Amino acid sequence: MRSRILISILIFIFLLLFYSALFVALMQNFEGKSYSIIDGFYWVISTITTVGYGDIYFTTTIGKIFSVVVMVSGVLYFFGFFLPYAILPWAEERLKLVLPTSVKMSDHIIICGYNLFTVEFCKILNEFGVNYVVLEKDPERVRKAMDEKIVCVYTDGSERSFLDNGVRRANAMIIAWERLEDILDTLLTLREYNLPKYVVYGDYKYTKYLLYAGAKRVFLPKSLIASSIARMILQEVEIGKKRVILDGLQAIEIVLPSKTSVSELEDKGLKVIAACRLGKLEFNPPKDRTLEKGCVALLAGTDEAIRRIVHEGTHFRLW
């Protein structure tokens, strides 16, 4: 950014010196007037900025043409070069400071990269009430995600940024950067952190390298839809996995995708052992209790009863 501003200043100084020298020469040769180089600076600055006080001016045709060239080049320089090349990028860098860079979460999923896949993936996570945060390097994409009500923060991809967004407290990480270099950089940066890292990348030829770098699994977006990936990941982070507690009796912990009642679950042959919502744990809730969307419910029942509502660990059949 500093180099752009420096280049802009050097170009302006060159124009100032060049036009000032031409001004002195034209005034002496065509107007018959003698002016110093300081007078030239004064005239060029007042003309190139289109101020034009009128105390010094040309009367000959070639002098008037020169004046028009200076004025037009001044407009082109400021609005065609200096503004888009130096001022707007500087303002954009400053605006990055107002973008959110971290969130306070735990037991959440970190998603690297905002794109069409992550948009659909976030919809699935919202449906099941799972907390998440999207990390994005492009400030324009961060603003777009925020406009779409997606929890998104600006990141520079550093280890500090991941720590600020709870990488130690997260259940899993989805790495969906578009560039392979960014994916590998994230995997290597977080190699020492013990959380499952799932990569979404379109070229199967790099799968083994991504696994070597620390990915637990690599998904090809062309062959898997976002909802299938979401269910598989939720299963691997211990949501929706059955456990045998007694002979013929199993327990399962699920995130309810919509509102239901304890009596409805018991009518299907399941016992609600406990329910947790927003950190409030309730054991043996009464039959008339309504369980809200996103509530984590611990259910017990036979394998057949559980299969009536859950298929392959995470596909809910309650509704």
Q: Give the chain's radius of gyration (CA, Å).
A: 32
Whether 217 and 256 share a structural domain: no
Contacts of residue 15, defined as CB under 8 A and 6 or more positions apart, other chains included, come to 44, 48, 73, 77
Length in residues, the chain: 319
End residue of a domain, out of 48, 64, 98: 98
pLDDT value of position 233: 56
Of 116-120, 132-136, 218-222, give the range with the top mean pLDDT.
132-136
pLDDT value of position 222: 57
DSSP annotation string for 221-252: TTTS-HHHHHHHHHHHTTSS-EEEEETTEEEE
CATH code for position 274: 3.30.70.1450
Whether 56 and 155 share a structural domain: no
Share of the chain above pLDDT 90, in %: 34
Interior CA angle at 271 toward 265 and 274, to 5°?
100
CATH code for position 20: 1.10.287.70
**pTM of the predicted structure, to 2 decimals:** 0.47
Whether 261 and 224 share a structural domain: no
Quick check: is 103 in a domain? no
pLDDT value of position 318: 40
When pLDDT is averaged across residues 221-241 and rounded to a whole number, the result is 52
When pLDDT is averaged across residues 250-278 and rounded to a whole number, the result is 83
Whether 63 and 78 share a structural domain: yes
pLDDT value of position 314: 42
What is the total count of domains within the chain?
3
Quick check: is 104 in a domain? no
Whether 28 and 145 share a structural domain: no
pLDDT value of position 224: 53
pLDDT value of position 66: 92
Whether 156 and 259 share a structural domain: no
Q: Are 268 and 282 in contact (CB under 8 A)?
A: no
**Above 80 in pLDDT, residue 235?**
no
DSSP state of 151: -
**Above 50 in pLDDT, residue 319?**
no
- Rounded Cα distance, 189 and 198, in Å: 15
End residue of a domain, out of 236, 252, 284: 236
pLDDT value of position 317: 45
Q: How confident is the model at residue 92 (pLDDT cuts 50, 70, 90)?
A: low
End residue of a domain, out of 186, 209, 236: 236
When pLDDT is averaged across residues 131-159 and rounded to a whole number, the result is 92
When pLDDT is averaged across residues 218-230 and rounded to a whole number, the result is 62
When pLDDT is averaged across residues 197-212 and rounded to a whole number, the result is 89
Whether 128 and 213 share a structural domain: yes
Query: For residue 130, what are the domain limits?
Result: 109-236
Which of the residue ranges 123-132, 184-193, 223-232, 287-296 would you say has the lowest mean pLDDT? 223-232
Whether 136 and 229 share a structural domain: yes
